[in-house]
Amino acid sequence: MNQNTTVLDLLVVGGGINGVGIAADAAGRGLSVLLCEAGDLAGATSSASTKLIHGGLRYLEQYEFALVRKALAEREVLLRNAPHIIHPMRFVLPYRPHLRPRWMIRAGLFLYDSLSRRVSLPASRSVRFAADNPLNSALSDGFEYSDCQVDDARLVVLVAQQAREHGARICVRRECVGATEEDGQWRVTLRDTQTGQTEEVRARALVNATGPWVERFANGVLPTREHRHIRLVKGCHIVVPKLFDSPEAYLLQNEDGRVVFVIPYEQDFSLIGTTEEDVPGDPAQARIADWEIEYLCRVVNECFKTQVSPEMVRHVFVGVRPLIAEEHVKASEVSRDYTIELNVSTSPLLTVYGGKITTYRHLAEDAMQRLRQVFPELGPAWTGASALPGGDFSSREVLTRDIQARCPWLPDDMRARFVRSYGTLCWQILDGARALDDLGQDFGHGLTAREVDYLCAREWARSCDDILWRRSKLGLRFSEEQGQALAEYLKSRDAI
């Protein structure tokens, strides 16, 4: 065991969006921070969202006005700070009079436009559908409104990089296997999940940001502390070949009161989701059921000319949301807002329950406000005006032209992917290259050895899944042979 006698200010357990958000905010305010994650960054719920930065239009029906207002305000902040991985998108809501009356939808959209100041996104409006639109002929009109699409897993990685830039230590494949209180501090044991080696660290305060495992971690590692009970609700998504060529997304109403998104995804696909069902056991074992795939296909087929079937599904993913348990409430109606609790009776423990990817930064600021009683020396809030790594450029169009001018040999599809994935961080991959061959072996679809080396060295990537499904979405395109070549390269890097 390697015993570290240095006492950290804050140890954050959990490498999802809430954990990295708290780590970054705390580090930027002057605290010494270590974040540990048992798997990969964004390895669970934070890479299995609907890929939206949004206020949550449907939450208005549950009178979650404060949550929607908070999320809408954050939408503007994140769009400004991460223009590479977040972009505006128009959403079409077809009108189906037997499901919700027109006045109700108009009122909801008016509230959605008005609850928070819009800076960069246009207002909602009524629309009539042209004959060549992708919806079936029974749907003649509806509404449009604005929200944003995000690469959720890359958002987590960029916030982790932001934390590192401010001095935080980010440890992936490090499981917190023990935590005891000693003289008002925490003595924590971390285990390397790949080598089995352990390390002991001490911290003045501990953050439980383990997402769906928040209750299990509290029971198993922090058994002396009281905690809230949570309700695990899974959201299932399917990916199919794209159903339409237009850039708009669709929000479909369904007979059961739920809504389903159909969103353009990775140029050649459509993302469809989500379902909402309780998870009775281990969140790591949550899977999409056949009936859920059929359900999503059925909702789409009721509205679109192009029909989908389970046989067309190219990829599925399941996110498990940890929501505060509410009695006699349907899974779709449980609040999506977060709860933060700070226990300072002995060694300070801050626990995060719930939350949405859109409100991670606001959540982190709330966490810092609570922790100020433990760390009165905390600096001021700062993340609202700070671009995430790679986001320091004026527009995607300007950055695209800059890359084209400096690297005219870079193929169009690679250049576009670099802009929307890395922003100005792409220069760390392209630096010194004078031709495509300078980027090394091409594993397929423009993923080169130079990029893989960057992801391993700077973005904590270790495995094929880290690279193909979280640092990128190239897993949608890779063949088994291409994946094997990448695996062999990663194995050779470990041997060096």
The per-residue pLDDT string of the chain (496 residues; one tens digit each, 9 = 90 and over) reads 455 568 999 999 999 999 999 999 999 999 999 999 999 999 999 999 999 999 999 999 888 999 999 999 999 999 999 999 999 999 999 999 888 999 999 999 999 999 988 888 999 999 999 999 999 999 999 999 999 999 999 999 999 999 999 999 999 999 999 999 999 999 999 999 999 999 999 999 999 999 999 999 999 998 777 788 899 999 999 999 999 999 999 999 998 889 999 999 999 999 999 999 999 889 999 999 999 999 999 999 999 999 999 999 999 999 999 988 765 566 666 777 899 999 998 899 999 999 999 999 999 999 999 999 999 999 999 999 999 999 999 999 999 999 999 999 999 999 999 999 999 999 999 999 999 999 999 999 999 999 999 999 999 999 999 999 999 999 999 999 999 999 999 999 874 4
Helix axes 360-371, 65-81, angle to 10 degrees: 100
Q: What are phi and psi of 56, to 5 degrees?
A: 90, 75
The whole-number pLDDT of residue 496 equals 44
Is the peptide bond preceding residue 383 cis, with omega within 30 degrees of 0?
no
CA–CA separation, 449 and 219 (whole Å) = 43
Nearest CA-CA partner of 25 in 318, 350, 254, 316: 350
Indicate the length of the chain as a whole number.
496
CA–CA separation, 382 and 395 (whole Å) = 23
Q: In terms of C-beta density within 10 A (0-12 exposed, 13-18 middle, 19 or more buried), how is residue 485 classed?
A: middle
- CA dist 222 → 22, 48, 186, 189, 219 (Å): 20, 27, 11, 12, 6
Handedness of CA 434, 438, 442, 447 (dihedral sign): negative
Write down all domains in the chain, each with its CATH number in brackets.
Answer: 2-45+154-228+336-385 (3.50.50.60), 75-148+231-332 (3.30.9.10), 396-495 (1.10.8.870)
Are 359 and 338 in contact, with CB atoms under 8 Å apart? Answer: yes
CA–CA separation, 276 and 248 (whole Å) = 24
The whole-number pLDDT of residue 379 equals 96
pTM of the entire structure?
0.96
CA–CA separation, 330 and 419 (whole Å) = 41
The whole-number pLDDT of residue 494 equals 79
Are 488 and 442 in contact, with CB atoms under 8 Å apart? Answer: no
CA–CA separation, 439 and 268 (whole Å) = 25
Residue type, 488: E
The whole-number pLDDT of residue 327 equals 59
The whole-number pLDDT of residue 331 equals 64
Nearby residues of 263 by Cβ (< 8 Å), 6 or more positions away: 50, 51, 52, 89, 149, 249, 250, 270, 271, 272
Q: How many CB atoms lie within 10 A of CB 68?
A: 25
CA–CA separation, 420 and 83 (whole Å) = 8
Q: In terms of C-beta density within 10 A (0-12 exposed, 13-18 middle, 19 or more buried), how is residue 349 classed?
A: buried
Enter the tokens of residue 386: 């700070």
CA–CA separation, 279 and 259 (whole Å) = 20
Chain centroid to CA 122:
24
CA–CA separation, 65 and 116 (whole Å) = 11
Q: In terms of C-beta density within 10 A (0-12 exposed, 13-18 middle, 19 or more buried), how is residue 365 classed?
A: middle
Q: What are the DSSP calls for 55-108, one per residue?
A: --GGGGGGT-HHHHHHHHHHHHHHHHH-TTTEEEEEEEEE--TTTS-HHHHHHH
The whole-number pLDDT of residue 1 equals 44
CA–CA separation, 71 and 124 (whole Å) = 17
Are 232 and 320 in contact, with CB atoms under 8 Å apart? Answer: yes
Are 489 and 461 in contact, with CB atoms under 8 Å apart? Answer: no
CA–CA separation, 76 and 119 (whole Å) = 7
